[in-house]
Amino acid sequence: MCGIAGTYLWPDGGPLTERLTAAVTHRGPDGDGQYTHPAGDGQVHLGHRRLSIIDLSETGAQPMVADGLALTYNGELYNAPELRAELQAAGACFRGTSDTEVLLQAWRRWGTDCLPRLRGMFAFAVFDERTGELVLARDQLGIKPLFLVRRGRGLVFASELKALAGALGDALHVDDAALVASLLYYWVPDTRCAFREAEKLPPGTWLRCRPGGRVDRGRFWSIRDVAQQAENIPEPDLAVPDFLNGIIADSTRRHMLSDVPVATFLSGGLDSSYLTALAAQHQPGISAYTIGFRSEDAKFEAMPDDLRYARQVAQRFGVDLQEIEIAPRILDLLPHMTYHLDEPIGDPAAINTFLICSAAREAGVKVMLSGMGADELFAGYRKHLANLLAVRYQGVPQPVRRPLQAAVDRLPVATSRRGYRSVRFAKRFLSFADLPEETAFRRSYTMYDRLELLDLVNPDLAGTVDDVLTEHADTYGDNALGDHVNRMCLADARMFLPGLNLAYTDRASMAASTEVRVPFVDVDVVKAAFSIAGNRKIVGRQGKVALKQAASSILPREIVYRPKGLFSAPLRAWMSRDLAPLVREVVNDGVLVSSGFLQREALQRLVAEDASGQQDRSKHLWHIVSLEYWYRGATAAGAGASASQPSMPVELHR
């Protein structure tokens, strides 16, 4: 896992590449390298920061040059051993044991045709000295990021948007549409970028730059097509648990390919427990990390007691469990996190990821396994079940629905810790239960409906609001699946997974110089997931049933069927105590309000609703504060200010 950067036919590309590479040092503190070569009437410059995981010797150093090809690569190939054997049988010679060299030899032999053969996570740039062409590529599911800016015939790219923003300064401008999208979702979709002039290379695609200025693009993998093809594969019927367990076990085994120790996240929930149990079969005594919050923080939330489940899994499978109580100085941590997240992301789970990875790194661990992706692929979120219940609810006569709606509206969300989640769920459910399928699904997990969003932002952005909503409708509708549950899973895998969960996981973990691997987000697991009908994923009121049945072969029933917990943070505690003065400042005098982007009166209503206990607006207000901090940093970078890294204030108690 590494940080990459480079320029192609870009004025002063050499110094710019050096600055870009330096800006991603945290992604690869173990080594660095530079490469320069003529390209047409200009030059190509490639930079690399290395996090040494496979082949720790100099034969794994990058940029790697061989046979007229130069490669700077970020990622891991989990089928590298098989590809190496195939290439050796065809006559390829290898100097070392890195997967980087496997990728370079695969590219030399097959070009872009090698991309569908790759099983892993990757973003890379490869330059052909003979043709003067530069190709960028990104993995099938968008696990690894790659940002780029094009200008004329030139191109500049980097693993992180902050590197481009810091190096290009006032050449980049904040995109209002991306900020509107972030308000809706609390993250920026992978199809958009927070700066107008920048873009993200889409998952499963490549881009080729030619010396004459021509740019070609191609797609080598599409989750939409895979899901449609998988739906037509005869389901393995009663063999689903064994079939699925075999594929996930194989993926987990492959994801443990490493020359340094591998550890796991272990929350005590199904996904992390399942992966930890499988990993322990291949690495006895494997370490796992779990976190808890101070009792004075947790009492504000309906947070499950995850720790006892994590301990149970650790004891059963001989896992070395590292328990960490987190007491972040949240006022100081906020600017650090908004800097590292690159774009406005309002999910506090990013803080958990960063703090766990920081603790692991302090213990010398570079590689972690995460259960990310299981909920999206196997219908594990409450919204999936809620949307099915909404279809049934629409069959209830209106005279019954109206008084029920009125009664729930009157309930305060802060009645008690026990009833908090139930009331919040009821309010949220009734906000979308009457809506058509796509609109209901969007409203079940986004922050605002259309009228609320229009009320929140500058009136001149009304057209932008509609564009953002239309994009969701188009993405949701762009499938040929006949299964309601799998339509939701596909929408999540195309939007929610790369736009939020994979994005914050990559950026938060790499901020701690740690690689996180996601065995559920694997091409074979994806194909298997969409071959399973929705009525085997959600049965009655139980979600993620197919995965639970598979996990039952190794995990105790108490873990498999425990109530779903949330990988979140004690937001209500933070908002009511630590961040209360900051919220008032942002709402009344923040840069977003002063600039006219956000409407002060609408923000004040959010604060009043949260304070009265009638609505839980802690998540909304957390994102507003996060967005404010991100915007301050972005506009400072746009004015030519240095994109320096804030200090990291954290207390970890083992």
CATH number at residue 366: 3.40.50.620
Examine the domain organization and report whether 364 and 231 are in the same domain: yes
More confident residue, 614 or 297: 614
Whole-number percent of the chain with pLDDT over 70: 92
In sign, the C-alpha dihedral spanning 558, 564, 566, 567 is positive
Is residue 555 a part of any domain in this protein?
yes
The answer to whether residues 280 and 317 touch, using CB atoms and an 8 Å cutoff, is: yes
Examine the domain organization and report whether 133 and 6 are in the same domain: yes
Mean residue pLDDT of the chain comes to: 91
Is residue 618 a part of any domain in this protein?
no
Examine the domain organization and report whether 293 and 164 are in the same domain: no
* pLDDT of 328: 65
Is residue 637 a part of any domain in this protein?
no
Mean pLDDT, residues 126-149 taken together: 98
Q: Can you read off the two tokens belonging to residue 195?
A: 């700066």
Nearest CA to 522 out of 278, 261, 237, 351 is that of: 278
More confident residue, 412 or 200: 200
* pLDDT of 420: 56
Residue where a domain stops, chosen among 195, 221, 247: 221
**154-158, 270-274, 349-353, 448-452: least confidently modelled range:** 349-353
Digit-coded pLDDT (tens) for 93-108: 999 999 999 999 999 9
Examine the domain organization and report whether 283 and 369 are in the same domain: yes
User: What is the β-pairing status of strands 154-158 and 133-138?
Assistant: unpaired
Helix (H, G, I), strand (E, B) or coil at 556: coil
Backbone angles phi, psi at 195, to 5 degrees: -115, 135
**Cβ count within 10 A of residue 532:** 27
Mean pLDDT, residues 128-138 taken together: 98
More confident residue, 548 or 292: 548
Nearest CA to 16 out of 123, 163, 159 is that of: 163
Alpha helical stretches, state H, 24-95: 80-89
* pLDDT of 421: 65
Dihedral (C-alpha) 450, 452, 456, 462: value to the nearest 10 degrees? 30
* pLDDT of 580: 85
Residue where a domain stops, chosen among 173, 191, 221: 221
CA distance 158 to 10: 14
Is residue 471 a part of any domain in this protein?
no
pLDDT band at 610 (very low <50, low <70, confident <90, very high): confident
* pLDDT of 240: 79
CA 203 to chain CA centroid, Å, is 12
Examine the domain organization and report whether 185 and 255 are in the same domain: no
Task: Classify residue 67 as left (phi > 0), alpha (psi -120 to 50) or beta.
Answer: left
Is residue 294 a part of any domain in this protein?
yes
pLDDT band at 462 (very low <50, low <70, confident <90, very high): very high
Examine the domain organization and report whether 89 and 217 are in the same domain: yes
Residues 6+ apart with CB under 8 A from 322: 287, 288, 289, 290, 359, 360, 363, 654
Digit-coded pLDDT (tens) for 5-40: 999 999 999 999 999 999 999 999 999 999 999 999
Mean pLDDT, residues 636-651 taken together: 48
Which domain, by its residues, includes 203? 2-221
Examine the domain organization and report whether 307 and 191 are in the same domain: no
Q: In one letter, which amino acid is 339?
A: Y
The answer to whether residues 103 and 57 touch, using CB atoms and an 8 Å cutoff, is: no
Examine the domain organization and report whether 66 and 157 are in the same domain: yes
CA of 504: how far to CAs of 4, 76, 77, 182, 345, in Å?
18, 18, 21, 14, 8
Helix (H, G, I), strand (E, B) or coil at 531: coil
- 215 forms beta bridges with 209
Q: Can you read off the two tokens belonging to residue 43?
A: 């030059």
pLDDT band at 611 (very low <50, low <70, confident <90, very high): confident
pLDDT band at 552 (very low <50, low <70, confident <90, very high): very high
Residues 6+ apart with CB under 8 A from 138: 122, 123, 144, 145, 146, 201, 202, 203, 204, 205, 206
Is residue 456 a part of any domain in this protein?
no
Q: What pTM, to 2 d.p., does this model score?
A: 0.93
Mean pLDDT, residues 330-347 taken together: 90
Examine the domain organization and report whether 229 and 215 are in the same domain: no
Residue where a domain stops, chosen among 170, 201, 221: 221
Q: What is the CATH number of the domain that holds 112?
A: 3.60.20.10
pLDDT band at 649 (very low <50, low <70, confident <90, very high): very low
Nearest CA to 155 out of 16, 38, 1 is that of: 16
Mean pLDDT, residues 183-198 taken together: 96
Digit-coded pLDDT (tens) for 257-291: 999 999 999 999 999 999 999 999 999 999 999 98
Helix (H, G, I), strand (E, B) or coil at 562: coil
Examine the domain organization and report whether 178 and 275 are in the same domain: no
Measured CA angle at 323 (ends 320, 324), to 5 deg: 145
Is residue 477 a part of any domain in this protein?
no
Nearest CA to 190 out of 48, 340, 334, 345 is that of: 345
* pLDDT of 573: 74
pLDDT band at 305 (very low <50, low <70, confident <90, very high): low
CA distance 119 to 524: 9
Cis peptide before 63 (omega within 30 of 0): yes
Examine the domain organization and report whether 275 and 244 are in the same domain: yes
Is residue 630 a part of any domain in this protein?
no
Examine the domain organization and report whether 123 and 270 are in the same domain: no
Backbone angles phi, psi at 607, to 5 degrees: -60, -45
Q: Which contiguous run of DSSP H or E holds residue 162?
A: helix 161-168
CA distance 385 to 387: 5
* pLDDT of 220: 98
Nearest CA to 248 out of 559, 519, 516 is that of: 519
Number of domains in the chain: 2
